[in-house]
Structure 1
Amino acid sequence: MMRQARVHRLATKAPDDVSALRQAIEAGHIDPRGIVAILGKTEGNGCVNDFTRAFAVSALRSALADHLEPESVSRIAYVMSGGTEGALSPHLVVLERGTAEPSSSPALAIGSAQTGDITPEAIGRLDQVEMVADGVRRAMADAGIANPADIHFVQIKCPLLTGERMAEADRRGASIATRDTLKSMGLSRGASALGVAVALGELSIEDIPEAAIGNRFDLFSARASTSAGVELLNHEIVVLGMSANWCGPLMIDHAVMADGIDIEPVRAALKRVGFVADGQLSEAERPRLAALLAKAEPSSSGSLRGARHTMLDDSDIAATRHARAFVGGVLASLVGTSEIFVSGGAEHQGPNGGGPVAIIAERKEGVFA
């Protein structure tokens, strides 16, 4: 027997809607004992006060508690990304692993790890970079992947600063990277992404001065996707790659968008996993697409291919919300579905104004044979 990855995309009607997950478990389509991670898009604002993320995690934990012991419920990574602006559709992506008779290989491999809790003063600093790098290495070991080149995407949920957490640091006389809670989200995402870059050999820790975090966007990982939330103090890490030690019909590839309309690298990745992708995916092809994961970020220059954008100047709507809607529309037009996981805030995740994209798909005959 070999390990096999399974991916289930489930629509949700509200942040606490776990009916599709319950039905899939009851029908035997999902074995809760094999769930490694659940990624979710929730219809909040994606900012510090987006409690739809914690609401969704609470509902998921409660549903799984009917089937698993408490420690098993806690080992699952719950990566909720708030914000379904535009036509992005709220949904869950359940990542499961089990065993099967040897079949097509190499195949999608999934690994996970969790770090210990981070102190408020370490958020957005090199201590966080090193903590995440260690966690990514452990997640790779969990997946049985030794070569960083075989990793196509690393999804991380990381913490942020709140007023209470800042006050706790103040009581101990510890200095923090920022007193702006919204800015702390970006610093945490950025430091976590740089931790991925270190673990995958894209950068060395010596390449990263602490002052570069949140400032030097020429330093980035091409395979990191990080999302910050108020609902945790540790880091939940999921690695997705290809391994000859795993079998099954699923495969993964990735692309890097240079900006929000750089669709050709994504089209090329779709072709590498066997889609025609000359235009929008056909209705016949779409069922093969198990999941599309992406990052979105407005360019800090204030322009896109020489044309001015106003995402950074809107005092009413956070720039990350504009970027999610914009990139979500671009990608949806290519794959023909709005059930895509687009996470805003791509600090050090791909080039400035762009971001990584991962495609998980069922293997087409003759592809990676």
Structure 2
Amino acid sequence: MKIEIYKFPMNGPEDLSGLRSLVEDGTVIPNEIVAIIAKTEGNGNVNDFTRGYTTFAIKSMLSNYLGCTHSNVSERVSIVCSGGCEGVMSPHATVFTKKNVNENKVSDDKRFAIGVNKTRELLPEEIGTCIHAKLVYQNVKEAMALALIENVKDVHYVQIKCPLLTSGRINDAERRGKQVVTKDTLKSMAFSRGASSLGVAMALNEVDEDKIVDSTICNDWSHFSSVASASAGIELMNNEIIVMGNSKKSISNCIIGHSVMNDPIDSMAVRNALQSVGINANPKVDIDDQKRLINVFAKAEAHTSGLVKNRRTTMLTDSDINSTRYARAVVNAVIASIVDDPMVYVSGGSEHQGPLGGGPVSVIAYIA
């Protein structure tokens, strides 16, 4: 198994010129693409349609290259679009290709590996519940096997794209006599992310499956995953699952590592994540190591107390701007100041993704 990873900037939600160039110059073979993760410039909330716009653009391009329908593209490629590029965060996409090779490795060192999977479509009343979490749990296990990762400790990043509730979806459930987890569409994003992340935590033995019940989700913050990254969107009803880690059976030229931020300005956790792939940042990444760095993926959220380092903030009391937008801007700025590049992936809303107010941070880099 060999994985190649490419990152390209986007000048708008529909701009895939970077991917087109990679395909046309022969760098990327379309039928080897297994996943695309993009940061789009919408508000990241319920009515962020840039995610769907980018997803549609990707499906349209790949359907032409692959000679198949949009639905066929969805079956072959896991597409995750996360909205919100506040502050200095630069819109971009990361493409992952995978091919099976017969080349023998000369060592037992572990290299980057990836496995993708998807759940069935959820019913509105299942979103944000234990049913949701257990579906993710089962499919993360399968994706891990597809990645040829044998030990849960070798998993360093699990990206989930999960659904949310809309008025139409809520009405559909009620017409059938079913009750949804919340009638607040914005809060439904949190419940969906939380259930997805607890599913990851169960799959990776980070929490005891028997302790996770419906009332645990978005309530008991002592249960979380240190590698989950869940992003909710209006553009789907299933869960897209991308498991990344290191495997002895991979001959990729890159590796992945992670750490966990305890709050939005936890720069030491960012440095620890970089160090896990052999990149020093004292105080920031030097020019040579910048060339090794492929991308950084992080989660961001305001603590429910509104405090950071015991200092009061207004992230939770500003009614004009959702707190996830503040958190994304802050975490991106912290990471960008260390790696000297604002084109990194930061997703808002870290329910059960790292400790309360914090979040996982993962780094993919070329092997030195």
Match of 2:16 in 1: 18
1:199 correspondence with 2:203: yes
Give the residue type in structure 1 aligned to 2:51: R
1:164 correspondence with 2:168: yes
Match of 2:79 in 1: 78
TM-score, normalization: structure 2?
0.96
The one of 244, 249, 253 aligned to 1:245:
249
In structure 1, how many angstroms separate the alpha carbons of the residues matched to 2:207 and 2:38? 29
Match of 2:55 in 1: 57
In structure 2, how many angstroms separate the alpha carbons of the residues matched to 1:33 and 1:240? 20
Give the residue type in structure 2 aligned to 1:81: S
Give the residue type in structure 2 aligned to 1:201: N
48-57 vs 215-224, which moves further: 215-224
1:220-270 per-residue CA deviation (whole Å, 9 max, x = no partner) reads 000100000000000000000100000121000000001111111221221
201-210 vs 237-246, which moves further: 201-210
1:299 correspondence with 2:298: no
Match of 2:7 in 1: 9
1:30 correspondence with 2:24: no
Match of 1:339 in 2: 343
Secondary structure of 2:114's match? strand
1:97-156 per-residue CA deviation (whole Å, 9 max, x = no partner) reads 124534564210000001100011111111111011011011111112232111111000
In structure 2, how many angstroms separate the alpha carbons of the residues matched to 1:148 and 1:72? 31
Give the residue type in structure 2 aligned to 1:74: S
Match of 1:367 in 2: none
Match of 1:211 in 2: 215
In structure 1, how many angstroms separate the alpha carbons of the residues matched to 2:252 and 2:360? 25
In structure 1, how many angstroms separate the alpha carbons of the residues matched to 2:314 and 2:74? 41
Match of 1:67 in 2: 65
In structure 2, how many angstroms separate the alpha carbons of the residues matched to 1:294 and 1:21? 23
The one of 187, 194, 203 aligned to 2:191:
187
The one of 311, 316, 336 aligned to 2:315:
311
In structure 2, how many angstroms separate the alpha carbons of the residues matched to 1:138 and 1:333? 37
TM-score, normalization: structure 1?
0.96
Give the residue type in structure 2 aligned to 1:274: G
Give the residue type in structure 2 aligned to 1:80: C
In structure 1, how many angstroms separate the alpha carbons of the residues matched to 2:104 and 2:302? 44
Secondary structure of 1:311's match? coil
Match of 2:89 in 1: 88
Give the C-alpha shift of residue 24 in structure 1.
Answer: 0.4
Match of 1:234 in 2: 238
Give the residue type in structure 2 aligned to 1:18: L
Matches within 5 A, 1:317-336: 317-336=321-340
Secondary structure of 2:287's match? coil
In structure 2, how many angstroms separate the alpha carbons of the residues matched to 1:117 and 1:232? 8
Give the residue type in structure 1 aligned to 2:251: C
Secondary structure of 2:60's match? helix
In structure 2, how many angstroms separate the alpha carbons of the residues matched to 1:221 and 1:111? 18
Secondary structure of 2:260's match? strand
Number of positions where the alignment pairs a residue of Structure 1 with one of Structure 2: 362
State, as a whole percentage, how many aligned pairs show the same letter.
46
CA contact (8 A) 2:165 2:189 kept: yes
In structure 2, how many angstroms separate the alpha carbons of the residues matched to 1:34 and 1:187? 34
Query: Which stretches in structure 1 are left out of the alignment for 5+ residues?
Result: 365-369
Give the residue type in structure 1 aligned to 2:313: H
Matches within 5 A, 1:86-165: 86-100=87-101, 101-103=103-105, 105-165=109-169
Give the C-alpha shift of residue 72 in structure 1.
Answer: 4.7
1:140-181 per-residue CA deviation (whole Å, 9 max, x = no partner) reads 111122321111110000000001100110110001100000
Match of 1:267 in 2: 271
